[in-house]
Amino acid sequence: MCGIVGYVGSGSALEIVVAGLRRLEYRGYDSAGVALVADGDLWMRKRAGKIDVLEEALSAESPPDSSTGIGHTRWATHGGPTDSNAHPHISADGKVAIIHNGIIENFAELREELTEAGVHLTSETDSEVAAHLVALTLPDTGDDLAEAMRQVSRRLSGAFTLVAVDARRPDRIVGARRNSPLVVGIGDGEAFLASDVAAFIAHTRDAIELGQDQVVELTAGGVEVTDFYGEPVDTKPFTVDWDASAAEKGGYDLFMLKEIAEQPRAVADTMRGRIDRSGQLHLDDSRINDNELREIDKVVVIACGTAYHAGLVAKYAIEHWTRIPVEVELASEFRYRDPIVGRSTLVIAISQSGETMDTLMALRYAREQGARTLAICNTLGSTIPRESDAVLYTYAGPEIAVASTKAFLTQIVAAYLVGLYLAQVRGNMFGDEVRRILDQLADMPSKVDLVLDTVEDVRAIARELAEARAVLFIGRHVGFPVALEGALKLKELAYMHAEGFAAGELKHGPIALLEEGLPVVVVVPSPSSSAMLHDKIVSNIQEVRARGARTIVVAEEGDESVNSVADHIIRVPATPTLMQPLVATVPLQVFSCEMATVRGHDVDQPRNLAKSVTVE
């Protein structure tokens, strides 16, 4: 939610900041703005709309030369997407510019205080108060921007990343972080601040993740980090393990298409190096020992959206392999229902970004209750893995398209590895049984590759159905979360009514939705791996067809039993049941992407959405 960039050095701040904003546009795209420090003044431009609109406005101007600047791309919370609500916000004296990501929960009382002090606020945002407060605090600090930021941060509640510049101090920018991401990039004679390393990866791969309640002051020569009370803190530098090309489209029209195509590599990378010669699995970072894992009597997966669907898939596998009960819960619901978690509960937080506020809050709640926590995450050094007892990173590489694709497949793989690890240390499975599953997983990149070879057929089906009013998705067992994921993709990309159902549940109500010609996508399990499930779903397809629906059947190669009941067949390679989500999801991603394209939507940046949801 909202992308933030800051730069100080000797380069062109405007160019660097706008290029950074482009890379962060996935985080929010309803307005954008920049502020530069030049000749003792602030130069600021901001516009409602995407960054293109801002760039067009900038091209009609003569911005000053400046090597210190900040920029923001917004996902609106308080106040609609207008020019005046766009960031940066400037203090009443015109000297301090601020950008903000998050929600300042006590902004109403601060606004009132400022109004009573005679300050005229020009936007409806919660963020603007921070600009005025910093400017009003500066004189008491001897014009020390970092100290003013610390004092103001102590007064704010909620979630915020704030970055500020002062027209009188062109040599520095200051950032503060609470419950919202902020990363520092260290270059040669230059430094960067951003919500995500993607913003500065073209300049440096050396980064520092700011911790909770920290303030950072950046100059071209260095970086100083303190807590909100001015105490210096140790920082955790890291090197980003991908380069600028990974965050570009690489010849594809859409990030989503590129990311779909990257799935075989992403799955392979997520497995790589996890298993040593003796067949032992390894996590990235673990402060939970094997004895503690043997004491676990319940697993709770917390996640949102697509990551939640990955958790639902994992439940089938982890319960099957470990015989430990697994609950999968939407993170936004978990902490508000007084869940039963304790020392013997393993809470697995799944998150691509590692910053999703609902998941983070659920994770913190679980920790407070004494649970052991494990993060499955795609973003090195982000908050959720930092606050977990153990981490398994998915090596999907940067996922830029708002619709999650490669993250989903790698989350399933990572969760399966956790399940196998648990089964291994608890003695639920023999070594050869674990290895058999690992071999099946190792086959999946090439099977996903085979699916990618057939996507043209899927696109043709999507084009044929693009005018449909709604689409239903049904599946059984692990095919059920795949159906949910198929429906989510279609909703968020094609803005169509789409629902996923457990196929067996149709007759308990949803079957009433069926009407002549309604497309129903059916995920059919392998007949050889689970004959009973397979036969049941073939009966479900017949029931659907009997009511006039048009059936699009995802079935494995060689399964001829679906020929007579399918209007369209999408073939996927034969896989054991638990592996099927890794192949069956891919055509559904392509289906939604094509539907959205035909319907003229912005696939990478669907309306109302943002990639990283850092508000509750």
User: Closer to ligand M6R at the Cβ: 524 or 610?
Assistant: 610
User: What's the min distance (Å) between Cβ of 591 and ligand M6R?
Assistant: 14
The catalytic residue among 95, 258, 315, 611 is 611
Q: According to CB under 6 A, which residues from 467 to 496 bind ligand M6R?
A: 488, 492
User: Closer to ligand M6R at the Cβ: 240 or 438?
Assistant: 240
Q: According to CB under 6 A, which residues from 390 to 419 bind ligand M6R?
A: 402-404
**Nearest to residue 570, comparing CAs of 453, 422, 492?**
453
Distances (CA, A) of 497 to 468, 493, 525: 9, 11, 25
Is residue 5 within 8 A of residue 88, CB to CB? The reply is no
**Distance from first CA to last CA of the chain, Å, rounded?**
11
User: What's the min distance (Å) between Cβ of 306 and ligand M6R?
Assistant: 3
- Tokens encoding 78: 């308080």
User: What's the min distance (Å) between Cβ of 400 and ligand M6R?
Assistant: 12
Distance of CA 15 to the CA centre of its chain: 26
**Number of neighbours of residue 564 by Cβ within 10 angstroms:** 10
- Using CB under 6 A as the criterion, what x/- string covers residues 595-614 for binding ligand M6R? -----------------xx-
The rounded radius of gyration (Å) of the Cα atoms in the chain is 25
Q: Where are the beta strands (DSSP E) in 496-600?
A: 497-502, 519-523, 550-556, 568-572
Write the DSSP assignment of 418-446 as a string of letters: HHHHHHHHTTSS-HHHHHHHHHHHHHHHH
Whole-number Å distance between alpha carbons of 344 and 337: 19
Q: According to CB under 6 A, which residues from 293 to 352 bind ligand M6R?
A: 304-307, 351-352
- Using CB under 6 A as the criterion, what x/- string covers residues 208-247 for binding ligand M6R? ----------------------------------------
263 binds ligand M6R (CB under 6 A): no
User: What's the min distance (Å) between Cβ of 293 and ligand M6R?
Assistant: 24
User: Closer to ligand M6R at the Cβ: 353 or 424?
Assistant: 353
User: What's the min distance (Å) between Cβ of 181 and ligand M6R?
Assistant: 11
**Ramachandran angles phi, psi of 529, nearest 5°:** -80, -35
SS3 616: coil
User: Closer to ligand M6R at the Cβ: 400 or 488?
Assistant: 488
User: What's the min distance (Å) between Cβ of 492 and ligand M6R?
Assistant: 6
Residue closest to ligand M6R (Cβ): 305
Is residue 334 within 8 A of residue 351, CB to CB? The reply is no
Q: Is 611 a catalytic residue?
A: yes
**Nearest to residue 215, comparing CAs of 132, 127, 152?**
152
User: Closer to ligand M6R at the Cβ: 306 or 322?
Assistant: 306
Number of residues that bind ligand M6R (CB under 6 A): 16
Residues that are catalytic: 2, 611
Residues at the site binding ligand M6R, with contacts judged by CB under 6 A: 304-307, 351-353, 356, 359, 402-404, 488, 492, 612-613
